[in-house]
Structure 1
Amino acid sequence: MSNHNLKTLSQVLNILVQRGITKEICMNDQKQMILGEDEKTYQPSDLCIIKSYRFEGDSNPDDNAVLYLLEDKEGQLSTILDTYGGESNHTGEEFDNFIREIPVQEKPEWDFD
């Protein structure tokens, strides 16, 4: 995906919501990755990254983020947002290790260029 055509994070999130993807996976205080309001607890092997959207802040290099689009074994789609740099929303290596262990199988239908 070329970065010069990349949409903003809010634009991509809006497109995903329009396509029915409204759930987010977040790490809780027990270092578990949870879908939505405690609906499911995931292990990396339960998920597949089908698209990664990278965003770089124009004004501040610390304003960087990756939005991962994921599909679970039941076919449910969700997102994980990873902001990094000075304003990281995740601390510790548990989150990074979890992301690294998720298999990746990019699907071109999720390109929004």
Structure 2
Amino acid sequence: MYAYDTITEAVSDLKKRGYTKDFNIRENRLACDQLDTHFGHEDFEIIEVYRFEGPSDPADEAIVYAIEAPSGALGILVNGYGMYADENNSEFLQQLHERVRLKS
């Protein structure tokens, strides 16, 4: 596992290592516009996870996920947590967090 000091550093290095697709959470699904598809919480593999906590700014709290889609495509999901978490996708995020805990 790699160690990064910033979210930008993590995303930049992951992209260099082939994680070039951008994933987002929409309607409790993982979506990738570049692949024109979406996935349920168990339809992809979480390869790496990096958590960042801002020392003084809650806006800096985020988790970076390195993800592999069933097709083998690699991408990144950056998701805020804490006071800036997206409540509209709370079910998906809860399932995502449970998968990360099981993987550890």
Q: Which TM class, normalised by the smaller chain length?
A: 0.7 to 0.9
C-alpha contact (below 8 Å) 1:49/1:68 kept by paired residues = yes
Query: Counterpart of 2:10 in 1: which secondary structure?
Result: helix
Q: Which amino acid in 1 is paired with 2:25?
A: M
Per-residue deviation, 1:52: 0.4
Q: TM-score, normalised by structure 1?
A: 0.70
Query: Counterpart of 1:27 in 2: which secondary structure?
Result: strand
C-alpha contact (below 8 Å) 2:22/2:34 kept by paired residues = no
Superposed, which structure 2 residues align to 1:36-47 within 5 Å? Answer: 36-37=33-34, 39-47=36-44
- Structure 2: 5+ residue stretches without partners: none
Structure 1 stretches of 4+ with a deviation exceeding 4 A read 101-106
Match of 1:22 among 17, 20, 23: 20
Q: Hey, which of these two has a bigger chunk of helix by percent?
A: 2
Per-residue deviation, 1:102: 4.5
How many residue pairs align between the two structures? 102
Aligned residue in 2 for 1:67: 64
Q: TM-score, normalised by structure 2?
A: 0.75
Q: Which amino acid in 1 is paired with 2:11?
A: L
Q: Which protein is bigger by CA-based radius of gyration?
A: 1
How many percent identity over aligned positions?
Answer: 27
Aligned residue in 1 for 2:96: 99
- Structure 1: 5+ residue stretches without partners: 107-113
Q: Which amino acid in 1 is paired with 2:23?
A: I
